[in-house]
Amino acid sequence: MTQINYKNKVMDKLKSIFLCGIFLLYSLQTSLASVVSTGNFNNDFFVTWSPSHVNTSADGRSRSLKLDQEAGSAFASNDMFLFGQIDMPIKLVPGHSAGTVLAFYLTSDQPNRDEIDFEFLGNVSGQPYILQTNVYADGFDNREERIYLWFDPTKDFHTYSILWNLHQIVFMVDFVPIRTYRNHADKGVAYPRWQPMGIRISLWDGSNWATRGGKDKVDWSKGPFIASFANYTIDACVWKGNARFCRADSSSNWWNKEEFTSLSWKQRRWFKWVRKYHLIYDYCQDNKRFNNNLPKECYLSKY
């Protein structure tokens, strides 16, 4: 064997080792980017407002927020995420909750922020809870939708979920899709796809707008107002500074798979049922608000 051939063989072997190392490193980073958490609030979240109004069980598996005349309360995730699914079981404020707002949302906290919102608007006793959803993309919102929930959300825990991937955002209640917002960026519609977002949950006084446009204020004699949380799941890509790990097609990034690019046929049936019987406001039907110039996404497919 000539010296040149020997050197070539050594170089080829070194290249193979190098490429294998790069592949393993990429695979490791991709797998580490995805987190599955089944719910210790002390490990995954920190209190951002009124620690005295946040009560967490000894094992960290359940938590409650309190609103009274002194203050509201809030907590936020330790990590930021780019795509995934968050499932949050919540028992809403019971009784006369008019004027109160419980918000469960993702936000990038940037000036041109992206945000995906669940907002639960309190009610006068005997009236149904209103669930409002909204989407901010590149700092712009005005995409509110409202539904009446088809059950009493104060009697037991119900799961409120956000699925967010490159193709769509799906809002779900007990895994029934109530709303979608598709990625129509190729048609000039803004879509949250670059900014990582953290999870935020807060309970606060929205007397000036929440119930009947602000006509029904918080009645402090009915307080304190308490909302409860338990057994959440975070299955999402933790932001490590490089979007390609969260966009990668890997076993850990299951939300990027073909089956999650749109609603399934079963989901579409449930979606249509919600829209037909429980939708009470859709910005895409509010011609007056937009002076007969509805946002572009209102004319595009929802799934």
Q: Tokens 């490990």 — which residue?
A: 43
Is 115 an annotated catalytic residue?
yes
* Amino acid identity for residue 209 in this structure: W
> What are 55-94's pLDDT values in tens digits?
999 999 999 999 999 999 999 999 999 999 999 999 999 9
How far is residue 30 from each of residues 26, 38, 52, 134, 273, measured CA to CA in Å?
A: 6, 20, 38, 30, 38
Q: Which entry of 70, 115, 144, 145 is annotated as an active-site residue?
A: 115
Per-residue pLDDT tens digits for 187-244: 999 999 999 999 999 999 999 999 999 999 999 999 999 999 999 999 999 999 988 8
The reported pLDDT for the residue numbered 171 is: 98
pLDDT of residue 9: 54
Q: List the structure tokens of 186.
A: 């190729």
Least confident of 6-20, 195-209, 279-293: 6-20
Q: What Cα–Cα distance (Å) separates residue 158 from each residue in 33, 100, 274?
A: 28, 19, 16
Residue 10, pLDDT > 50, answer no
Could you tell me what percent of the chain has a pLDDT over 90? 82
Q: Name the residue among 64, 106, 102 with its Cα closest to residue 87.
A: 106
Domain ranges of the chain: 41-299
| DSSP-based three-state secondary structure for 143 | coil
- Is 297 a known active-site residue? no
* pLDDT one-digit tens code per residue, 125-169: 888 999 999 999 999 999 999 999 999 999 999 999 999 999 999
- Give the tokens for residue 165: 């991937």
Beta strands in the chain (DSSP E): 34-37, 45-49, 54-56, 62-67, 73-91, 100-107, 115-121, 130-136, 145-148, 158-164, 168-173, 176-182, 197-205, 225-230, 233-238, 279-282
pLDDT at 29: 43
Question: Burial, 49: exposed, middle or buried (Cβ in 10 Å; 0-12, 13-18, 19+)?
Answer: middle
Say whether domain 41-299 belongs to CATH 2.60.120.200: yes
Annotated catalytic residue within 119, 144, 258, 259: 119
Percentage of the chain modeled with pLDDT above 70: 89
Instruction: Report the relative pairing of strands 34-37 and 168-173 from DSSP bridges.
Output: unpaired
pTM of the complete model: 0.89
Q: What is the model's pLDDT at position 242?
A: 87
